[in-house]
């Protein structure tokens, strides 16, 4: 079986911003974190995958199908959770579900009831009275109740307090393990992805900076810290996303052994987390 | 598509009371229209429901939801045209109930009866009005199209006036002068269907071009 999601040279031009030849793919059964700063192009990419925006160039295949020509078939087999709720606030959750469910050929009422129960969602309450966390859980329940093979999630945890965010991620991780579906999860909160992502794709200024397995990424990049004087040596040439302060510098290196030799014990090397990698890529202007 | 129409009706439940208030106000406002009073009320209230439905969609940013679900654009567009008929049914029922209640309490405002003819005339008026409005709504969304609403009203009135003049002149055409009522009805329904079909195709093309 091929990738569940494949983008090839996807380009979309706006006045003042271009999503530039974005390419990455996601294999079945994995969670891919899609990271980047605000305005980097995450939502634009997701809107293109969902056909909410028209492609200028490139190709998007979802579950092996063409995203434009086979849109309806794709949407039967994927679920989505966006950064904010797009459900009608004047309706109750039960009314909203009665409207949505008939559109899915594989709607599973029992699964839906199970998730509503699991997430402790009040069916008779108006969606306007739901907290943001409840709205996200409801969106997740809908997304998981039609046997979706791929979940597309755009910043689902933004605006949630840390407790609800952690609960949401726990639910997501458990559910994904049970349901065996793949997930593209965009977030600028990288700590969320530290917990659950198998792969990480980073977009910066409309271009893909990297798309790798999380382990590969954390092995490849090493955080280096040292005194400023060290920057007068060949060490500087090896640093990605250099950040200087009056006390010293910090950056990322890929060839630790070589830099360690050049630094001659005057630098400290640490394993970075995703946030540090993202920060150095963004602040250091690495593309 | 029926589910989308039911959704439109479900969203209107919040303003059912308001609808009766509008019927009450319109029944006084349109008294001078005599026997056409119910037609004007049904048209006015139905068109308001079309507007309200657009406002709900916009408020909830529903286009993003519907275009993410397995719902085709022609279903989204087509349901709005079908919903117009549902609104006519709602407005007609509200008009009949209000008129009946007002006559029972001896408030004399009813200048004409709510008959099948007045409902049909109301339906024709709202469908024509909506055929002008919906392509603009699907191209621009509710907020932007709202500003063009008065243009649509005037365009509609101008066209209705021009058409009534044209119909007067057409009655001099021998074929039409000698045509039976069935033929004239067929021509009327055919013209109406053509206007709606053109409006629908235009709406669909404009909506397909939109990005969310």
Q: What is the reported pLDDT for A179?
A: 62
On the question of pLDDT at A7 being above 60, the answer is yes
More confident residue, B178 or B126: B126
Q: What is the reported pLDDT for B101?
A: 87
Q: What is the reported pLDDT for A285?
A: 59
Helices (H), chain B: 2-12, 16-29, 37-59, 62-66, 73-104, 116-140, 142-146, 149-170, 174-178, 181-209
Contact pairs from chain A to chain B, CB under 8 Å? 56
CA distance A105 to chain B (A): 9
- Asked if the C-beta of A70 comes within 8 angstroms of chain B's C-beta atoms, the answer is no
- Asked if the C-beta of A14 comes within 8 angstroms of chain B's C-beta atoms, the answer is no
Q: Please answer whether residues A218 and A259 qualify as being in contact, where contact means their C-beta atoms are separated by less than 8 angstroms.
A: no
| C-alpha to C-alpha distance for B132 and B181, rounded to whole angstroms | 28
What would the pLDDT profile of B66-122 be if each residue is shown by its tens digit? Answer: 999 999 999 999 999 999 999 999 999 999 999 888 888 777 776 677 889 889 999
- Asked if the C-beta of A209 comes within 8 angstroms of chain B's C-beta atoms, the answer is no
Confidence of residue B150 (pLDDT cuts 50, 70, 90): confident
- List the structure tokens of A182: 């793949």
What would the pLDDT profile of B55-71 be if each residue is shown by its tens digit? Answer: 989 888 899 999 999 99
List of chain A residues whose C-beta atoms are within 8 Å of the C-beta of residue B10: 91, 95, 99
> Cβ contact (<8 Å) for B61 and A52?
no
Q: What is the reported pLDDT for B111?
A: 67
Mean pLDDT across the stretch A78-82? 93
Nearest to B71 among A47, A84, A103 (CB): A103
- Measured between CA atoms, the residue of chain B closest to residue A142 is B69
Q: Which chain B residues touch A if contact means CB-CB below 8 Å? A: 3, 6-7, 10-11, 14, 56, 59-62, 64-65, 67-72, 211-212
What would the pLDDT profile of B1-60 be if each residue is shown by its tens digit? Answer: 889 999 999 988 878 888 999 998 888 888 877 788 889 899 999 999 999 899 989 888
> Cβ contact (<8 Å) for B70 and A72?
yes
CA distance B17 to chain A (A): 15
Three-class DSSP labels, A44-56: HHHHHHCCCCCCC
| C-alpha to C-alpha distance for A81 and A84, rounded to whole angstroms | 8
CA distance B149 to chain A (A): 24
> Cβ contact (<8 Å) for B212 and A89?
no
What would the pLDDT profile of A227-252 be if each residue is shown by its tens digit? Answer: 988 887 888 888 888 888 888 999 99
List of chain B residues whose C-beta atoms are within 8 Å of the C-beta of residue A184: none
Residue of B18, B53, B61, B65 to mutate, interface with A, max A Cβ within 10 Å: B65
- List the structure tokens of A192: 């969320």
Q: What is the reported pLDDT for A68?
A: 92
What would the pLDDT profile of A144-196 be if each residue is shown by its tens digit? Answer: 899 899 999 999 888 888 888 888 888 888 777 766 789 999 988 888 888 88
* Residue B165 domain flag: no
* Residue B97 domain flag: yes
Confidence of residue A87 (pLDDT cuts 50, 70, 90): very high
List of chain B residues whose C-beta atoms are within 8 Å of the C-beta of residue A86: 60-62, 64-65, 68
- Measured between CA atoms, the residue of chain B closest to residue A50 is B68
Confidence of residue A96 (pLDDT cuts 50, 70, 90): very high
> Cβ contact (<8 Å) for A52 and B71?
no
* Residue B181 domain flag: yes
On the question of pLDDT at A56 being above 60, the answer is yes
* Residue B163 domain flag: no
| C-alpha to C-alpha distance for A104 and A136, rounded to whole angstroms | 20
Q: What is the reported pLDDT for B146?
A: 80
On the question of pLDDT at A267 being above 60, the answer is yes
Question: β-pairing, A249-253 with A222-226?
Answer: antiparallel
> Cβ contact (<8 Å) for A95 and B69?
no
> Cβ contact (<8 Å) for A86 and B72?
no
| C-alpha to C-alpha distance for A71 and A12, rounded to whole angstroms | 19
List of chain A residues whose C-beta atoms are within 8 Å of the C-beta of residue B211: 47, 52-54
CB atoms < 10 A from the CB of A81, how many?
Answer: 26
* Residue B158 domain flag: no
Q: What is the reported pLDDT for A286?
A: 55
Angle at A222 between CA A221 and CA A227, to 5 degrees: 140
Confidence of residue A219 (pLDDT cuts 50, 70, 90): confident
Please state the domain count of chain B: 1
Nearest to A54 among B3, B59, B211 (CB): B211
Nearest to B70 among A52, A90, A103 (CB): A103
Q: Which domain holds residue B199?
A: 2-153+170-209
Q: What is the reported pLDDT for A102?
A: 95
Nearest to A76 among B59, B67, B70 (CB): B70
DSSP states along A203-253: EETTEEEEEEEHHHHHHH-EEEEE-GGGGGSGGGGG-EEEEE-SS-EEEEE
> Cβ contact (<8 Å) for A89 and B211?
no
- List the structure tokens of A278: 């993202």
* Residue B80 domain flag: yes
% of chain A at pLDDT higher than 90: 56
- Altogether, the residues listed in chain B come to a count of 212
CB atoms < 10 A from the CB of A130, how many?
Answer: 19
Q: Please answer whether residues B106 and B29 qualify as being in contact, where contact means their C-beta atoms are separated by less than 8 angstroms.
A: no
Q: Please answer whether residues A109 and A97 qualify as being in contact, where contact means their C-beta atoms are separated by less than 8 angstroms.
A: no
């Amino acid at each position: 079986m091929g990738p569940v999601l494949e983008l090839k040279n996807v380009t979309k031009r706006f006045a003042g911003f271009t999503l530039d030849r974005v390419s990455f793919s996601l294999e079945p059964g994995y969670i891919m974190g899609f990271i980047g700063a605000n305005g980097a192009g995450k939502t634009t990419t997701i809107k293109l995958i969902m056909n909410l925006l028209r492609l200028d160039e490139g190709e998007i295949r979802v579950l092996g199908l063409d995203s434009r020509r086979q849109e309806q078939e794709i949407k039967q087999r994927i679920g989505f959770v966006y950064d904010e709720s797009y459900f009608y606030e004047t309706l109750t959750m039960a009314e909203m579900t009665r409207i949505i469910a008939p559109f899915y050929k594989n709607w599973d009422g029992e699964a839906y009831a199970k998730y509503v129960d699991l997430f402790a969602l009040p069916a008779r309450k108006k969606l306007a009275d739901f907290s943001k966390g409840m709205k996200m859980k409801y969106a997740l329940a809908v997304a998981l109740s039609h046997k979706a093979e791929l979940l597309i999630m755009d910043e689902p945890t933004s605006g949630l307090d840390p407790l609800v965010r952690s609960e949401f991620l726990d639910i997501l991780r458990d559910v994904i393990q049970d349901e065996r579906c793949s997930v593209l999860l965009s977030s600028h909160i990288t700590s969320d992805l530290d917990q659950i992502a198998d792969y990480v794709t980073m977009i910066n200024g409309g271009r893909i900076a990297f798309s790798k397995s999380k382990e590969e990424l954390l092995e490849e990049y090493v955080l280096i810290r040292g005194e400023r004087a060290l920057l007068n040596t060949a060490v500087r040439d090896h640093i990605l996303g250099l950040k200087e302060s009056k006390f010293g510098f910090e950056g990322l290196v890929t060839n630790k052994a070589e830099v360690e030799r050049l630094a001659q014990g005057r630098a400290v090397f640490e394993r970075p987390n995703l946030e540090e990698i993202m920060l150095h890529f963004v602040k250091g202007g690495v593309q | 598509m029926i589910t989308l129409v039911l959704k439109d009706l479900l969203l209107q439940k919040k303003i059912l009371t308001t609808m009766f208030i509008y019927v009450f106000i319109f029944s006084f406002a349109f008294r001078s229209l005599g026997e056409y009073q119910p037609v004007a009320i049904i048209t006015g209230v139905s068109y308001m429901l079309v507007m309200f439905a657009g406002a709900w969609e916009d408020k909830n940013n529903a286009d993003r939801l519907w275009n993410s679900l397995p719902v085709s654009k022609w279903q989204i567009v087509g349901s709005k045209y079908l919903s117009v008929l549902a609104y006519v049914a709602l407005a007609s029922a509200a008009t009949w109930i209000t008129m009946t209640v007002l006559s029972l309490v001896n408030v004399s405002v009813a200048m004409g009866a709510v008959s099948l003819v007045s409902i049909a005339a109301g339906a024709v008026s709202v469908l024509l009005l909506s055929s002008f409005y919906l392509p603009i709504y699907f191209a621009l969304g509710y907020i932007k199209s709202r500003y063009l609403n008065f243009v649509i009203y005037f365009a509609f009135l101008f066209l209705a006036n021009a058409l009534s003049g044209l119909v007067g002149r057409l009655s001099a055409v021998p074929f039409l002068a000698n045509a039976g009522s069935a033929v004239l009805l067929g021509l009327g329904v055919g013209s109406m269907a053509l206007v709606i079909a053109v409006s629908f195709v235009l709406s669909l093309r404009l909506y397909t071009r939109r990005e969310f």
